[in-house]
């Protein structure tokens, strides 16, 4: 019987608790979201008993910290649980397709009779013989075409 009493007491306490807290949390959550969104978009926020939880992904640690600081400043927030993860985006490197590389090579290679260049899967393979100075200039030209790689390990360099 005692247990039953305690049980109903807890039930009443919980009901009262939620009745008083739930709308307040919703209100706080609105404040948190308003503060966090300008700092880090795409972050979801949740508030329970005045404790704000942030989750989602950002691209650096500074944004993660800034989002937490913004959430702390929101009216009614007691503390912040920062579940935001930092995901560094893959580096963006512009690479030319083979036909664009081949077109560039046609223009460039006529000035380098000692060497041959072949394009395969975005890579340029250079073979033959060139002076160090000419090769440096050729390498600069080839790199400007945005190849994936310029392979010249078998190229013979002569110093005039």
Partner 1 sequence: MALQEKYSDLITAAKSAGGIQVNELGGVLYIKGQASSAALKDRLWDLYGKADPNFLTGDVVMDVDVAGIGEGSKLKVTTDTSSLNMRKGPGTDQPLVGKAPHGGTVTLLSKTNDQWWLVRNDAGEEGYAYAQYLSPM
Q: Which residues bind partner 1 (CB under 8 A)?
A: 90-94, 103-104, 106-108, 110, 132, 134-137, 139-141, 143-153, 155, 157
Which of the 8 DSSP states describes residue 25? H
Minimum CB distance to partner 1 smaller for 72 or for 134: 134
- On whether the CB atoms of residues 79 and 61 are closer than 8 A, the answer is no
Question: In this structure, how many other beta carbons lie within 10 angstroms of the beta carbon of residue 116?
Answer: 13
Q: Which is nearer to partner 1, 70 or 142 (CB)?
A: 142
Beta bridge partners of 128: 115
Q: How far is the CB of 60 from partner 1 (least distance, A)?
A: 16
Closer of 30 and 137 to partner 1 (Cβ): 137
Q: Of the two residues 78 and 149, which places its CB atom closer to partner 1 in the complex? A: 149
Residue 91: Cβ within 10 Å count: 5
Minimum distance, C-beta of residue 73 to partner 1, in the bound complex (Å): 33
Q: How far is the CB of 123 from partner 1 (least distance, A)?
A: 8
CB of 62: closest distance to partner 1 in angstroms?
A: 18
Beta strand segments in 5-152, E: 44-48, 51-58, 79-86, 115-120, 123-131, 149-151
Say which DSSP state 151 is in: E
């Amino acid at each position: 019987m005692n247990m039953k009493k305690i049980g109903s007491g807890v039930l009443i306490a919980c009901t009262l608790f939620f009745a008083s807290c739930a709308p307040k949390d919703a209100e706080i959550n609105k404040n948190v979201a308003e503060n966090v969104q300008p700092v880090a978009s795409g972050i979801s926020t949740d508030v329970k008993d005045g404790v704000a939880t942030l989750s989602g992904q950002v691209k650096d640690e500074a944004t993660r910290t800034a989002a937490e600081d913004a959430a702390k400043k929101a009216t009614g927030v007691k503390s912040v649980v920062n579940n935001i993860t930092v995901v560094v985006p893959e580096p963006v490197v512009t690479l030319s397709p083979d036909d664009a590389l081949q077109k560039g090579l046609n223009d460039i290679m006529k000035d380098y009779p000692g060497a041959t260049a072949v394009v395969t899967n975005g890579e340029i393979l250079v073979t033959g013989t060139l002076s160090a100075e000419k090769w440096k200039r050729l390498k600069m030209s080839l790199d400007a075409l945005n190849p994936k790689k310029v392979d010249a390990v078998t190229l013979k360099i002569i110093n005039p």
